[in-house]
Amino acid sequence: MQLNNLFKRSKPEETEAKAPVTEQPAAEATKTCPRCQAELTTSELDAQNYVCSCGYHFRISARKRLMELVDEGSFWELDRDMLGGNPIDFVNYEAKKEKLRASSGENEGVICGTASIGGQKCAIFVMEPYFMMGSMGCVVGEKVTRLFEYATHNELPVVGYTVSGGARMQEGILSLMQMAKTSGAVKMHSDAGLLYIVVLTDPTTGGVTASYAMEADIILSEPGALIGFAGPRVIEQTIRKKLP
């Protein structure tokens, strides 16, 4: 589904069939923990849910997180085929997205759908760190908005996992507009008396922090996650000082 008209609102779509939450097995490799410098194999990381013995939380893909979280066979993906264009003709933007679709296996920076967790049905979104660091462009904003609208209509709680470098600069002001759109959908969900729980993962910054990441009834965070509006690099460039 091509997102041609950025302002056209329509009913959220369900995929024609259940989209299984599966992930291709990764080749055995070794990763170094940035905190304690321990060398961990892929199988060791998988057995430890990608948490080092020192407590450092490695980043994991959105689909793997879903696979570990929801009840088996319960996930039904919404708007899986939604694609965006290049609204401000940013140089090489389409080529970059195509490359990331191939490497991440995802069409965009967030996965949305319904599932059950411990037998409790909910709407759920998980942002993808390996697709432009989960940055929020028009498609990400639209998918999150439509998920909250779907949850409001069907009286479902929402569970969300954020990871984001903020608004996607390749889509200019249209990316920033997603902050207001998603916040409006969260407000309608809240006004309906429905629960919203969000888990912040590393990093959650920028326009996502300034909108739906900080609007939940319950806000949790992975230990050591970088949470803020501007990242350290941007702050240092602004104040011309090294941060502690």
pLDDT for position 12: 58
pLDDT for position 243: 79
Structure confidence at residue 1 as a pLDDT band (50, 70, 90):
low
Q: Which residues pair with 32 in a beta bridge?
A: 39
Average pLDDT of span 193-215: 96
**Is the pLDDT assigned to residue 244 strictly greater than 90?**
no
Picking from 11-25, 54-68, 112-126, 227-241, which range would have the lowest pLDDT averaged per residue?
A: 11-25
- How many residues would you count in the chain? 244
Average pLDDT of span 45-57: 88
pLDDT for position 216: 98
Please tell me the pTM assigned to this model: 0.83
What integer best gives the mean pLDDT of the chain?
89
| Alpha-carbon gap, residue 140 to 118, rounded angstroms | 27
Average pLDDT of span 190-207: 96
pLDDT for position 42: 85
**Is the pLDDT assigned to residue 6 strictly greater than 50?**
no
| Alpha-carbon gap, residue 124 to 187, rounded angstroms | 17
pLDDT for position 97: 96
| Alpha-carbon gap, residue 221 to 228, rounded angstroms | 12
pLDDT for position 140: 97
pLDDT for position 46: 85
Burial of residue 47 (CB within 10 Å: 0-12, 13-18, 19+) is: exposed
**Is the pLDDT assigned to residue 157 strictly greater than 80?**
yes
pLDDT for position 107: 94
pLDDT for position 16: 47
DSSP string, 9-26: --PPPBPSS------PPP
Per cent of the chain over pLDDT 70 is 88
Q: Are 202 and 222 in contact (CB under 8 A)?
A: yes
Average pLDDT of span 213-221: 97
**Is the pLDDT assigned to residue 13 strictly greater than 90?**
no
